[in-house]
C-alpha cells in the first residue's frame, strides 16, 4: 500500500475536515491535508473559497467534501425547494415556533421555514465542476456510495475519491463501487454517524475489504490527539480523519458562544440525534436536541425536510446566544464528537497539528518500548 504521506505530499497522515476555509488552509500549511466541506456553499461561494485557499497554500495539497446522499426526499421528482418545504407538516412548524418562544427566541415566521439548499445530484455536479477548476488532491463524499458522475469525473482528473462509512458492509459496497480511500467513521464522531465505535469499526472494515482489494482506511471518530492517531494506525488504519478538534481553534468560524459550550463540555455532553438534519447526527446536547428527542415531540422528518425546521431556527439561536439571550444559549448546539471532552483550550491550528505530531511520536515510542522492553 502506498504511504499516504508520499501519495498526498503531506508530513503527517492527518486529514482535517472543516467548513471553514481558514482551518483548511492552516492544516495544509502545517503539514496535514485540509478538506473543505463544500455542501453548504453555492457554486459561486465555493469558487470564491477555493480561490482564496489556492492563494494561501501555494500549491500544497487540499481536498473538497461534497455530500450527495443516496436517499433523499424529492429524488427523481421535478419539485422546487419551495415545494419541498411545503411538505413540512404544520404540526412540526408549530412545534419549532413554540420551542423558540418558550426560550425567548424571537423569529420572523415568514422567514423561518425555508429550504435554502438541497444536497442533491444536480447541486453536487455543479459544485464538482467548480472544485475541479482548482488543484484539489482529494474529493470526498458521505451518506452513501459516491454517484457515478463523481467517481468517473475524479478518475478522469486523476483525483482519488474518499467515502465515509459507518459499517463494514458499507465499506464493502464502497470498495466494489471503486472508491480509492475509505473513512471508517465510528459512532463517537461528530456529524452523521452509525452505531459502531471506532475501536471496533476500523479493524472490521480493514478485514472486510481485504479479500476484495487493497484500499487505505482512515480512522475517524473522537480523534483529537496524536496518541489516538497512533492507536488508529495500530488498528490497521493508514491515517486519521478529524473534524471536531478544529471547531475550537483560533481560525474556526464556530459561533463564539458555541465555542465556549464546547470547551466546557465533557464527552457525555453529546447526543446522536435526528433533530438537525433528519439523519442520525452526533451534536452537542442542548434544549433543542432534548425537545426533539422527547416522547411528546412530533419526531424529526427525513432529509432534507428537517433542515427546513432547523437551519434558520438554529442560525437565529446562534445570533441571539452571542448577544446574551439565555434561552438561545440553552438551545445552541453544533455538530461535535465525543472527543469534545479533550478539547479544553482554544489554540491556533498550527499548534494543534504540532501537538498532535509530538503526541503521536511519543505514543509510537511507548508502543515500541512495550515490545522491546
pLDDT in tens, 93-116: 999 999 999 999 998 877 888 877
Task: Dump pLDDT digits (tens) for 300-343.
Answer: 999 889 999 999 999 999 999 999 999 999 999 999 999 999 99
Angle at 239 between CA 238 and CA 240, to 5 degrees: 145
Task: Dump pLDDT digits (tens) for 137-154.
Answer: 999 988 778 888 888 899
Find out whether 277 and 306 touch, Cβ atoms under 8 Å.
Answer: yes
Q: Higher-confidence residue: 192 or 60?
A: 60
Task: Dump pLDDT digits (tens) for 239-276.
Answer: 999 999 999 999 999 999 999 999 999 999 999 999 99
Q: What is the pLDDT of residue 249?
A: 97
- Residue ranges and CATH numbers for the domains of the chain are 4-72+118-246 (3.20.20.70), 81-117+254-331 (no CATH)
Question: Residue 240: in which H helix or E strand, if any?
Answer: strand 239-242
Mean pLDDT of 74-102: 83
Q: How confident is the model at residue 70 (pLDDT cuts 50, 70, 90)?
A: low
14-28 CB burial, b ≥16 within 10 A, e <16: bbbbbbbbbbbbbbb
Q: How confident is the model at residue 360 (pLDDT cuts 50, 70, 90)?
A: very high
Q: What is the pLDDT of residue 1?
A: 40
Neighbours of 296 (CB within 10 A): 6
Residues in Cβ contact with 191 at an 8 Å cutoff, skipping those fewer than 6 apart: 142, 243, 281, 282, 335, 337
Q: What count of Cα atoms within 13 Å lies in the side-chain half-sphere of residue 245?
A: 29
Calpha distance 80→56 (Å, rounded): 37
C-alpha cell at 157: 482528473
Q: How confident is the model at residue 373 (pLDDT cuts 50, 70, 90)?
A: low
Angle at 279 between CA 275 and CA 283, to 5 degrees: 55
Please check the confidence at residue 75 and state whether its pLDDT lies above 60: no
pTM, full prediction: 0.92
Amino acid at each position: 500500500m502506498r504511504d499516504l504521506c508520499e501519495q498526498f505530499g503531506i508530513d503527517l497522515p492527518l486529514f482535517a475536515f472543516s467548513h471553514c476555509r481558514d482551518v483548511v488552509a492552516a492544516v495544509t500549511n502545517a503539514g496535514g491535508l485540509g478538506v473543505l466541506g463544500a455542501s453548504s456553499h453555492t457554486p459561486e461561494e465555493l469558487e470564491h473559497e477555493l480561490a482564496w485557499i489556492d492563494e494561501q497554500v501555494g500549491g500544497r495539497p487540499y481536498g473538497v467534501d461534497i455530500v450527495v446522499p443516496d436517499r433523499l426526499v424529492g429524488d427523481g421528482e421535478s419539485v422546487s425547494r419551495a415545494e419541498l418545504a411545503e411538505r413540512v407538516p404544520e404540526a412540526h412548524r408549530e412545534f419549532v415556533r413554540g420551542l423558540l418562544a418558550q426560550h425567548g427566541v424571537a423569529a420572523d415566521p415568514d422567514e423561518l421555514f425555508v429550504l435554502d439548499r438541497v444536497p442533491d445530484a444536480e447541486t453536487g455536479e455543479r459544485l464538482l465542476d467548480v472544485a475541479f477548476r482548482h488543484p484539489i488532491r482529494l474529493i470526498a463524499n458521505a451518506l452513501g456510495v459516491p454517484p457515478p458522475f463523481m467517481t468517473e469525473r475524479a478518475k478522469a482528473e486523476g483525483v482519488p475519491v474518499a467515502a465515509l462509512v459507518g459499517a463494514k458492509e458499507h465499506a464493502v459496497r464502497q470498495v466494489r463501487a471503486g472508491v480509492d480511500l475509505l473513512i471508517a467513521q465510528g459512532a463517537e464522531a461528530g456529524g452523521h454517524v452509525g452505531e459502531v465505535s471506532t475501536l471496533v469499526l476500523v479493524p472490521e472494515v480493514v478485514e472486510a475489504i481485504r479479500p476484495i482489494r487493497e484500499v487505505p482506511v482512515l480512522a475517524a471518530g473522537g480523534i483529537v490527539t496524536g496518541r489516538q492517531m497512533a492507536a488508529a494506525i495500530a488498528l490497521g488504519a493508514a491515517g486519521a480523519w478529524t473534524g471536531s478538534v478544529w471547531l475550537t481553534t483560533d481560525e474556526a468560524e464556530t459561533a463564539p458562544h458555541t465555542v465556549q459550550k464546547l470547551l466546557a463540555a465533557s464527552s457525555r455532553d453529546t447526543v446522536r440525534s435526528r433533530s438537525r438534519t433528519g439523519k442520525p447526527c452526533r451534536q452537542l446536547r442542548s434544549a433543542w436536541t432534548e425537545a426533539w428527542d422527547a416522547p411528546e415531540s412530533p419526531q424529526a422528518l427525513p432529509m432534507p425536510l428537517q433542515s427546513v425546521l432547523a437551519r434558520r431556527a438554529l442560525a437565529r439561536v446562534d445570533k441571539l446566544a452571542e448577544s446574551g439571550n439565555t434561552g438561545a444559549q440553552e438551545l445552541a448546539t453544533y455538530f461535535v464528537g465525543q472527543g469534545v471532552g479533550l478539547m479544553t483550550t482554544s489554540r491556533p491550528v498550527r499548534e494543534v497539528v504540532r501537538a498532535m505530531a509530538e503526541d503521536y511520536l511519543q505514543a509510537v515510542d511507548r508502543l515500541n518500548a512495550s515490545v522491546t522492553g
